[in-house]
Amino acid sequence: MKRGSSFKPRVAVLMATHNGADYVGAQLQSFASQSLKPHCIVVSDDNSDDATLEIVKRFANRHPDLSVRLKQGPGQGSSANFLSLLDHTPDETDMIAFSDQDDVWLPHKLERAATLLERAGTAPGLYCGRTHHASGDLSVTSQSRSVPNRTDFRNALVQNVAAGNTIVLNGQAMALAQAAGSPKVVVHDWWLYLLITGAGGQIVYDNDLLMYYRQHGQNVIGANEGIRSQAQRLRMMINGTLKDWNAVNVAALEHAIHLLTDENADLLRAFSDLRQATPSARLTQLKRLGLYRQGRLGQASLWLAALLGKL
């Protein structure tokens, strides 16, 4: 969508909820305040036993123009809940925007995402970006870091930089995600980053901060910032969690390998072989394949994981 154009894409917001009564009302209201109004909001609830459903229903009654739809989630965790929403997207949808239950969007979030996704043209496009980190009362505590290097499949295989609460997909990317089904994945945002880059799509990374990402102690996945977070990631690498996650990602990609470009299908096979190789071969292959993480510290941790057999 170009500014000033009479065409406005029909954006469906897909929200996964579970016991979100404390904050979901504010997030819903931020949808109603968008300069580009969503044409539909689909809420998938995973067995909430608080007032979440009542809050969503009251919002729907106050905003009939937003076409709020409520469905029962699969009850298999956050990622499965988000991916299940792909099967409930209205046919007349041009773009989809994923939403957590506890954030707040700034008013031009959807309009800017739609505008920037035009850069993807007819290719599958995934918009994502930075966020304000905020406390429960929305006091800003910090901002997420920018991404210094390119975003492609060589990065996605070893790192996720697409924050799920910022993701917007164009129609081509939406169709791609629907074609891939709902495999077992680590987190839905990493899966979408892998799938769309693997299929030759384009990542549109926005350095503008267009939402408040609440940090309130009950986040499924909190902000990935600070020394404590870096220490946690190092522990996860050493104890084998990263290796287990890569195994899940590789299996999901192998299931969808027919959707990848030939080059990236070959890269996936080479990465799978690298994970089983000897230490010297792992380092040699890592360099040859050009796999990388964002930033010097991230790249150093990748080499260490390869050396220790933790990929």
For residues 62 and 232, give the distance between their C-alpha atoms in angstroms, rounded to a whole number.
Answer: 43
151 vs 267: CA distance, rounded Å = 15
The pLDDT of residue 25 is 98
* Better-scored residue on pLDDT, 305 or 216: 305
* Cα angle: 197, vertex 83, 112; to 5 degrees: 60
Burial class (CB in 10 A: 0-12, 13-18, 19+), 97: buried
What are residue 145's phi and psi, to 5 degrees? -75, 155
Cα torsion 18, 22, 26, 29: sign: positive
Per-residue pLDDT of 70-80, as tens digits, reads 999 999 999 99
CB-facing half-sphere around the CA of 197: CA atoms within 13 A: 25
For residue 199, the SS3 value is: coil
Q: Tell me which H or E stretch contains 82.
A: helix 78-84
Confidence band of 253 (pLDDT split at 50, 70, 90):
very high
Out of 3.90.550.10, 3.40.50.1220, 3.40.50.300, 3.40.190.10, the CATH code matching 11-214 is: 3.90.550.10
For 59, the token pair is 């919002």
Sorted by sequence, the CB contacts under 8 Å of residue 17 that are 6+ apart come out as 24, 43, 44, 45, 46, 48, 52, 56, 73, 101
**Average model confidence (pLDDT) across the chain:** 92
Q: What is the pLDDT of residues 141-162, one digit of tens each?
A: 999 999 988 999 999 999 999 9
Q: What is the pLDDT of residue 219?
A: 45
User: What is the pLDDT, as a whole number, of residue 2?
Assistant: 45
The string of pLDDT tens digits covering residues 213-241 is 998 655 455 455 556 666 777 788 888 89
d(CA 60, CA 71): 13
pLDDT of res. 224: 56
Which DSSP category does 257 fall into? G
pLDDT over 60 (residue 61): yes
- Is residue 255 helix, strand or coil? helix
* Predicted local distance difference test score (pLDDT) of residue 6: 60
Beta strand pairing call for 168-170 and 125-134? antiparallel
Q: What residue ranges do the domains of the chain occupy? A: 11-214, 226-308
How many Cα atoms within 13 Å fall on the side-chain side of residue 292? 11
Q: How many CB atoms lie within 10 A of CB 299?
A: 16
Residue type, 298: G
Q: Could you give the CA distance from residue 211 to residue 167 in angstroms, rounded to a whole number?
A: 12
pLDDT-based confidence at residue 4 (cuts at 50, 70, 90): very low
- Asked if residue 127 lies in contact with residue 113, where contact means CB atoms within 8 angstroms, the answer is yes
The mean-pLDDT minimum among 30-39, 84-93, 159-168, 235-244 falls in 235-244
Quick one: average pLDDT of 188-213? 97
Q: How far apart are CA 308 and CA 275, in angstroms?
A: 11
| pLDDT surpassing 90 at residue 5 | no
Do residues 31 and 106 make contact, with C-beta atoms less than 8 angstroms apart? no
Per-residue confidence (pLDDT) for residue 236, from 0 to 100: 84
